[in-house]
């Protein structure tokens, strides 16, 4: 996972968001063991304490479970994973709609614009 941090939010929250994206997308599959705090911190280029704080937040949210001697594992709770995907997709849709409305696109025009985009990009190797 490539890490890129910005000044607009605390780094540990940016790590939480990045790991949540990985969990929601399946990059970190349910039940899989996460790399160690030190390995993740090295990969992200942050202090291990910062990574520990992010992982503790993921545990608090029920997305990661710690097992004393075995490490941390992605939850296998299908309902929690579905809720995570729903929350993340809702946020993306809300931001997209807000930006479309800023461009002057009316709410009722947005679904047609999305369908048109899908139709013209469905055969692309990488539509994004």
pLDDT tens for the 128 residues of the chain, in order: 789 999 999 999 999 999 999 999 999 999 999 999 999 999 999 999 999 999 999 999 999 999 988 999 999 999 999 999 999 999 999 999 999 999 999 999 999 999 999 999 986 655 55
Residue pair 41/47 in contact (Cβ under 8 Å)? The answer is yes
Which phi and psi (to 5°) does residue 6 adopt? Answer: -120, 165
Residue pair 54/36 in contact (Cβ under 8 Å)? The answer is no
CA distances from 120 to 45, 113, 127 (A): 39, 11, 9
What is residue 2's three-state secondary structure? coil
What is residue 33's three-state secondary structure? strand
The pLDDT value given to residue 122: 82
On whether the pTM is more than 0.85, the answer is no
Q: Which has the closest alpha carbon to 22: 37, 3, 41?
A: 3
The pLDDT value given to residue 125: 53
- CA angle centred on 20, ends 24 and 71, rounded to 5°: 105
């Amino acid at each position: 996972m490539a890490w890129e941090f910005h000044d607009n939010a605390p780094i540990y929250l940016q790590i939480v968001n990045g790991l949540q994206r990985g969990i929601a997308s399946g990059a970190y599959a349910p039940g899989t063991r996460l790399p160690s705090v030190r390995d993740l911190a090295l990969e992200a280029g942050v202090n291990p304490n910062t990574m520990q704080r992010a992982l503790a937040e993921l545990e608090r949210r029920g997305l990661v479970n710690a097992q004393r001697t075995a490490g941390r594992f992605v939850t296998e709770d299908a309902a929690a994973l579905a809720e995570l995907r729903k929350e993340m997709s809702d946020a993306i849709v809300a931001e997209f709609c807000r930006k479309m409305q800023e461009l002057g696109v009316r709410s009722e025009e947005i679904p047609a614009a999305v369908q048109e985009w899908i139709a013209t990009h469905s055969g692309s190797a990488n539509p994004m």
